[in-house]
Chain A
């Protein structure tokens, strides 16, 4: 608190530094990702240089990437959305049901329906958090159970099988443009839009302002309720899109789609440099974090480590990432204090 009331003189130094360090932070994760890819490729060139390897490298992370981007926006506002896995499960099943119940339904309409449905589920979370002023962790923990329960109830004993789905839709999961899978292209477009919005627009900066200091944002006159609400809607809608992607990629839908993904999404965001206390990080970081998580998953067996150890490696990564963030933050604070004392 006291640092914000410091004299305004060293403002340029303060303004310049966080950007520099922020960029270094995402660069670190990117370097780790490249290291994993290179190591796996040296061991087995097919990891990168075969048609299947290249496709899987891009395709597998794209679903988690979408969820992690939504999660990142919510965490930046100093909230958390634990229901994303359940939202994904519900929208995935909705996607399957629509194709079965409405023969010949156009694919864009299904995608739209799933995204809107995800958005509505996010709206329920957001409304409870923003209007009832209840901690997001509690509300979304509740909807995690409730949405999953509804999903299991709705699915019953029938599952969606690839044979129920139109061939063009399943084709989306494997189709490539210039060797890049279509789903990855969509994910990257969504990511770029979100990144541009969060970095360059007034609305995007307001998310950061709210997360850095909710009380100050309120005093400043920001519409915090509406902003927090919109973050949850975005997170829900992106989880909805991820649900569609899941169906396109894997073809079959049980009632357990996306179960446990909430922790993967939070983990990806944290690895990517999003501070769990809000206001810090970029969606790029979260997306690279997601990519690193999923790539490690596939690289471990190639590197001769049984994939049973994958979760342990993920845990070490998450802890390493937050310790690194802490070290960087402490160093930055020291530099800022020095800069102030010098001036």
Chain B
């Protein structure tokens, strides 16, 4: 643990003695964006039916829940924590919406209640992690089972499919004149908020500081517990929002909705350059990674490749991206050792 944090921090410092163009172009995030563009161009050129406006529609509808949840997940993981319960929270929010709608409550009230459940679930995770002091991996494995259990328990094997036409239509509706679904608007708003919070506020700098060194962050005046608590609440709330969207999009609330979604989100976040040890990562890399996996998936599906190959590619990409990064870091260390010893930053921490 200690060795990894010290190498990360040296790399961060060393970044600034490289020319600007190299810093912008030669990094993980840019590599993912470049790969995304490459995949889009290649698919558009070689797969029949890919370069059609309707592809954008399906693609965005499919990845929307992952895109949404990846935003708070990025922040949570930059602090060095993790939230495995998001997939179950999507299911629970879906069931809460469904059960309340079925019992006669207006849909708007049901959706608000589902959001409240998301906030409550996130606060529960946050409480166990920050106040009781438990590791988030273990806590959220527990709440993964708990939230899913509540969802399945409340609804059993039945499904609620009776939702107001207006809302289900809205979830699938396209922005006038384009094929872009409306869900993109809340996503962009959330993205803007998260970018501003992460990169332009003391709170956001605190998130990175916590990931690099919790103790140093605390001594610098960052309220570590409060920050993490807020992030877990955000994670739960956004997952619940994604759950409401999921319900409307498929017009069905079921206990097993979005099972396994947490691993897809985390795979995308890690692929986007967020370190699971915390302290490193950017939102643009994560968004590009989610889209990359989505485009690969829909492209291959259109090309008639089965979804299993997509799994192999997702897994392979994930492994390759981290192994490549670690090989690059190793090469850099070797070069730094061979080169003239003029960098203070290159000397390893004792």
Contacts and interface: CB of A to CB of B under 8 A. Distances in A.
A158 to B, nearest CB: 14
A60 B84 CA distance: 27
A315 B147 contact: yes
Consensus secondary structure, chain A interface: helix
Contact of B318 (A145, A147, A270, A317): A145
Interface string A125-136: 000100011110
Contact of A311 (B145, B157, B313, B327): B145
A276 B138 CA distance: 6
A235 interface: no
A306 B317 CA distance: 41
Contacts of A177: none
Contact of B260 (A134, A260, A309): A260
A145 B276 contact: no
A102 interface: no
Contact of A141 (B137, B149, B153, B263): B263
A266 interface: yes
A149 B323 CA distance: 20
A91 to B, nearest CB: 17
Nearest to B317: A142
Interface of B: 1-4, 82, 84, 128, 132-135, 137-139, 141-150, 152-153, 156-157, 255, 259-260, 263, 266-267, 270, 276-277, 306-319, 322-323, 326-327
Q: Which range holds the interface residue count of chain A?
A: 35 or more
B310 A149 contact: yes
A314 B312 CA distance: 30
Given A135-B277, A153-B312, A276-B137, A313 B149 contact: yes
B137 A153 contact: no
Contacts of B82: 137
Given A142-B318, A145-B318, A306 B309 contact: no
Interface string A290-318: 00000000000000001011111111111
Interface stretch (A18-26, A107-115, A198-206, A319-327): A319-327
Given A141-B270, A326-B134, A128 B323 contact: yes
A312 B319 contact: no
28 contacts: A134-B323, A135-B322, A137-B82, A138-B319, A139-B319, A139-B322, A142-B318, A145-B267, A145-B315, A146-B316, A149-B310, A149-B315, A153-B312, A214-B1, A255-B308, A260-B260, A263-B84, A263-B144, A270-B141, A270-B142, A306-B156, A309-B152, A312-B145, A313-B149, A314-B146, A314-B149, A315-B143, A316-B146
A141 B266 contact: yes
B145 A148 contact: no
Contacts of B319: 128, 138-139, 142-143, 146
